[in-house]
């Protein structure tokens, strides 16, 4: 006889010969399929009214509120940079961005328990560093691809690479013949979720090109937020019959937050 417990994952389902396999709900057990396998979850028998009011569930309600807040902030933050960073993100960036927002909220060391906010957390040095350390692609980090030097003038939205040499400063993906460089700026208000995004023109050069001074400049976004985020994207292309085609897949593009103000 097989007993299922909450959040139990079944690895290698084929080993359970003769066991009824299903996706959905059977009795008080719900089976959910994921990339790692099938999760079995027991039905929650706690009455909704008790969960909403009982003191013993206060922490659960608080954590649920933080999770909902993190999800809303993550969606609002991702939306304006979706097109800009689409080729530089892995499929699970969304869930990792949710977790990032939750960690930023937890950086609030001023507000009362249960009243933490991302706005206060983002004002801390720790909150800003969490954003700078965030990887948009978990398998291919920005620093594993780009090894050059750049300076960022946050007051003007200018990112400069004084002596950029692709063959020395890049680890290109297979098949690449050219590289594209671009920067972007996002103004984001963590209280109202108002946002504004601008991006620079793309600078393109062949991977065998000589050292070149590169200047990427964005217009300063409309001042509708308290925090400015500066993005730097590197992506690779392949020339075929005089036409440049962006390369898809892991390593085709990488992106990083290089400044938070």
Give the residue numbers spanning the domain of 13: 8-42
pLDDT higher than 90, residue 244: yes
Which are the contacts of 101, defined by CB distance < 8 A and separation ≥ 6?
69, 70, 71, 73, 74, 77, 118
User: Which of these three, 102, 132, 162, is where a domain ends?
Assistant: 132
**Domain boundary pick from 67, 99, 132:** 132
Same domain, 147 and 251: yes
Q: For 100-111, what is the mean pLDDT?
A: 95
Q: Which residue has the tokens 């979706």?
A: 82
Say yes or no: 104 and 20 in one domain. no
Tally of domains within the chain: 3
Place of tokens 């085709």: 252
In a shared domain, residues 36 and 62: no
Residue 180 in domain: yes
Mean pLDDT of 200-213: 96
**Per the domain annotation, does 186 fall within a domain?**
yes
Q: pLDDT per residue over 1-53, tens digit each?
A: 344 433 433 433 333 333 556 556 666 677 777 666 676 666 666 656 655 55
Q: Count the Cβ atoms, other than its own, within 10 Å of residue 194.
A: 14
pLDDT tens digits, one per residue of 217-242: 998 877 766 899 999 999 999 999 99
Residue 1 domain flag: no
The pLDDT tens digits for 138-194 are 999 999 999 999 999 988 999 999 999 999 999 999 999 999 999 999 999 999 999
Parallel/antiparallel/unpaired status of strands 227-240 and 253-260: antiparallel
207: left (phi over 0), alpha (psi -120 to 50) or beta: alpha
pLDDT per position as a tens digit, 111-148: 998 899 999 999 999 999 999 999 999 999 999 999 99
3-state secondary structure of 42: strand
What tens digit of pLDDT does each residue of 41-60 get?
A: 666 666 566 555 566 556 67
User: Considering the chain, what percentage of its residues have pLDDT values greater than 90?
Assistant: 66
Mean pLDDT score of the chain, rounded to an integer? 84
Flag whether pLDDT at 98 surpasses 90: yes
Would 2 be classed as within a structural domain? no
Domain assignment present for 157: yes
């Amino acid at each position: 006889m097989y007993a299922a417990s909450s959040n139990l994952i079944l690895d290698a389902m084929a080993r359970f010969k003769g066991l009824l396999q299903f996706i959905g709900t059977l009795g008080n057990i719900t089976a959910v399929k994921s990339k790692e396998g099938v999760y079995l979850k027991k039905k929650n028998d706690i009455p909704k009214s008790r969960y909403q009011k009982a003191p013993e569930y206060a922490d659960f309600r608080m954590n649920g509120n933080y999770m909902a807040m993190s999800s809303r902030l993550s969606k609002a933050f991702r939306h304006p940079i979706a097109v800009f960073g689409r080729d530089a993100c892995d499929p699970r960036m969304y869930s990792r961005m949710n977790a990032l927002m939750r960690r930023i909220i937890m950086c609030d060391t001023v507000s009362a328990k249960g009243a933490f906010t991302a706005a206060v957390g983002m004002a801390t040095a720790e909150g800003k560093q969490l954003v700078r350390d965030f990887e948009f692609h978990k398998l291919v980090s920005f620093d594993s691809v780009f090894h050059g030097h750049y300076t960022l003038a946050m007051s003007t939205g200018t990112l400069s690479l004084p002596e950029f040499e692709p063959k020395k400063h890049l680890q290109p993906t297979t098949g690449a013949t050219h590289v594209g460089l671009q920067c972007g700026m996002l103004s984001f208000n963590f209280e109202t979720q108002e946002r504004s995004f601008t991006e620079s023109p793309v600078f393109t050069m062949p991977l065998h090109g000589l050292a070149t001074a590169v200047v990427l400049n964005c217009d300063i976004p409309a001042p509708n937020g308290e925090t400015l985020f500066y993005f730097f994207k590197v992506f690779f292309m392949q020339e075929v019959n005089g036409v440049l085609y962006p390369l898809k897949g892991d390593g085709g593009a990488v992106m990083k937050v290089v400044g938070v103000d």
